Amino acid sequence: MIARKPSWLLTIVALAILFYMNAPTIVVVLASFSDTTYLTVPPQGWTLRWFEFVLGDSRYMRAIWTSLWLAGGATLLSLVLGTAASYALHHRLVPFRDVILSAVMAPLVFPAVVIGVALLQYVSLLGLRGQPLVLLFAHVLITLPYVVRSAMSSLTGINPQIEEAAHVLGASGFTAFRLVTLPLLKPGLVAGAIFSFVTSLDNVPVTIFLLTPRQSTLPVKIFASVEHGVDPSIAAASTLLVAGTAIALILAQKWVSFSRFF
Amino acid sequence: MTQSRNAGLGLIGPATVLILAGFLAPTVIMAMLSLRDYSGMQGIGTDWTLSNYINVLGDWFYLEIILRTLALGLIVTLLCLILGFPLALYILRVGPLMQTTAILLVIFPLLCNIVVRSFGWMVLLSPRGVINEALLGAGLISTPLDLMFNLTGVIIGLVQIYLPFMVLLLVPALQNIPADVEAAALTLRSSRIRVFFTITVPLASPGIITGSILVFVLSISALVTPRMLGGPTYRVMATQIYDEFMTNLNWPSGAALAFVLTFIALALIWAANRVAAHLTRGIPA
């Protein structure tokens, strides 16, 4: 591209598009502070009572905890399984490398709703519907590709001779990996972990098919509540999710520069 | 060698078992289900049949849903391109501080929950929502506009939700274009618009194709936004699959529709990869 300052017209258009992209989030956050029983923006009177309501409501709290342990657990499991698998795939320690890699990445290209209904039918056949472990493994399935993708691309950037040097100096296979390769992989793994945490926290189209009517995650609870009519408590629950995301994003920026996205 | 092979199997084993038992097996079983007959009286039968696929592809009710979904995907993709290009150009041209801010403002909605963003659009677009109240208050309209529970609402929501992907793919695609090519054309007295369409766009085409396919595939698979902004009566493929499984309990029919959607998505991704690989040949990385 030719380096050139943006024209006035381009600046106005771009800022308008950026506003459009963030408008729904801004509106939800503002509406959650309104001291009215209906949703209104700009908020009329400021109150925290809708947050009090959400944090005091046992169904909302159960949904929040389910979301958090599911996202945390799925991310941890994905990190372990994904890093191990990527290491084996990268160093060609296994046969059928390309087939296995495509299979691991497949949940990324399959429509999520299709994975959801396939799992619904499968766990119903096995009589496992509503089991927390089923939910956890379903989430690992959809978060694993993100970890594998970042780990594979980080491994490509590591000079293999560094780990060989550790072997020559007497380190066992795992020690060499832990002390030499793992620290080099860290930025990539952090990026993969953030993507997988957000993906799990965000997911509705797979999760919704696997829950029993008594179970819920926060996004599924919001999705279901909207069908019965909207009120500021839904906005407050949404704001909590946005706040969680923003905190994750700020923490992430300490480890990974966003230029990594390009 | 045997030792490293054993180590390799130990490392890859858990992930492979998860994919085989948790993804491949369910997909194969659903493929079998889509080939079973179904009647409202007896439920899922034991005979093999293609009738679910014939039904889905031959019945006007389903065909309309499939065509509507594809049209929706096309409109969303085009709008994401039209909005994504100026934003990507701006990000590339503006100073470093504003550039970081703009990138953060592109990534932030991407990380915000899709349910939350769709809910935000409901607050904005509903008959008594922010936009209608503002327009009514300003006296520009006398009755609320129908912005939601129809095609308009679903498009506004889906474009906002998938635009970040397009921008994040367009920026590097435009960045990689060598400046001298455009400069040469400008020296040869091409107008800026002509340079844009005859040089910039073709050279950025691998990124444009990747971004467009990604947005198209995500749009036709979307469940949450079409249900929240389209309402229960505005049906697309994903919401219909949901209804077949959860409300109508006609699982074989839902499974057939799910495979039609999967086939369209995978075929497009495969084709796009082929085209992008073809186009990238000859362009220095």
**Are A155 and A181 part of one and the same domain?**
yes
Q: Which two tokens stand for residue B67?
A: 């065509």
Query: Does A82 contact B261 at a Cβ distance shorter than 8 Å?
Result: no
- Judging contacts by C-beta atoms under 8 Å, the chain A residues touching residue B92 are 1
3-state secondary structure chain A: CCCCCCCHHHHHHHHHHHHHHHHHHHHHHHHCCECCCCCCCCCCCECCHHHHHHHHCHHHHHHHHHHHHHHHHHHHHHHHHHHHHHHHHHCCCCCCHHHHHHHHHHHHHCCHHHHHHHHHHHHHHHCCCCCHHHHHHHHHHHHHHHHHHHHHHHHHCCCHHHHHHHHHCCCCHHHHHHHHHHHHHHHHHHHHHHHHHHHHHHCCCCHHHHCCCCCCCHHHHHHHHHHCCCCHHHHHHHHHHHHHHHHHHHHHHHHCCHHHHC
Closest chain A residue by Cα to residue B25: A122
**Are A69 and A196 part of one and the same domain?**
yes
**Are A70 and A192 part of one and the same domain?**
yes
Query: Does A23 contact B119 at a Cβ distance shorter than 8 Å?
Result: no
Is the confidence at residue A22, as pLDDT, over 90?
Answer: yes
Assigned domain for A172 exists:
yes
- Judging contacts by C-beta atoms under 8 Å, the chain A residues touching residue B119 are 24, 28, 222, 226, 230, 234-235, 238
**Are A201 and A86 part of one and the same domain?**
yes
**Are A87 and A107 part of one and the same domain?**
yes
What CA–CA distance (Å, rounded) separates B163 from A16?
Answer: 13
Assigned domain for A16 exists:
no
Quick one: pLDDT at residue A19? Answer: 94
Least confident stretch, A12-21, B179-188, B240-249, B250-259: B179-188
Query: Does A140 contact B123 at a Cβ distance shorter than 8 Å?
Result: no
Distance to chain B for A127, nearest Cα, Å: 14
Q: Does B243 touch chain A (CB under 8 A)?
A: no
What CA–CA distance (Å, rounded) separates A236 from A50?
Answer: 6
What CA–CA distance (Å, rounded) separates A118 from A112?
Answer: 10
Question: 0.80 cut: is pTM over it?
Answer: yes
Quick one: pLDDT at residue B3? Answer: 63
Quick one: pLDDT at residue B283? Answer: 53
Query: Does B172 contact A111 at a Cβ distance shorter than 8 Å?
Result: no
Quick one: pLDDT at residue B281? Answer: 67
**Are A51 and A39 part of one and the same domain?**
yes
Query: Does B18 contact A1 at a Cβ distance shorter than 8 Å?
Result: no
Cis peptide before B144 (omega within 30 of 0): no
Closest chain B residue by Cα to residue A201: B113
Is the confidence at residue A159, as pLDDT, over 70?
Answer: yes
Query: Does B94 contact A11 at a Cβ distance shorter than 8 Å?
Result: yes
Range of the domain at A199: 65-216
C-alpha to C-alpha distances, B249 to A141, B50, B52, B226, nearest whole angstrom: 26, 19, 14, 21
pLDDT tens per residue across span B24-68 = 999 999 888 888 877 666 667 777 888 888 888 888 899 999 999
The ipTM (two decimal places) reads 0.85
CB pairs under 8 A between A and B: 274
Chain-centroid distance, C-alpha A197: 3
**Are A50 and A145 part of one and the same domain?**
no
What CATH code is carried by the domain that includes residue A73? 1.10.3720.10
Closest chain A residue by Cα to residue B30: A118
Quick one: pLDDT at residue B231? Answer: 84
Quick one: pLDDT at residue B201? Answer: 83
**Are A181 and A225 part of one and the same domain?**
no
Interface test with A, best of B115, B118, B182 (most A CBs within 10 A): B115
Distance to chain A for B277, nearest Cα, Å: 18
**Are A70 and A185 part of one and the same domain?**
yes
Q: Where are the domains of chain B?
A: 51-96+148-280
What CA–CA distance (Å, rounded) separates B123 from B110?
Answer: 19
**Are A136 and A221 part of one and the same domain?**
no
Last residue of a domain, one of A183, A199, A216: A216
Residue of B30, B171, B220 lying closest to A121 (CB–CB): B30
Quick one: pLDDT at residue B225? Answer: 93
Question: Which of the following CATH numbers is that of domain B51-96+148-280: 1.10.3720.10, 3.40.309.10, 3.20.20.70, 1.10.10.10?
Answer: 1.10.3720.10
The chain-wide mean pLDDT, for chain B, equals 85
**Are A100 and A225 part of one and the same domain?**
no
Quick one: pLDDT at residue B195? Answer: 80
**Are A114 and A227 part of one and the same domain?**
no
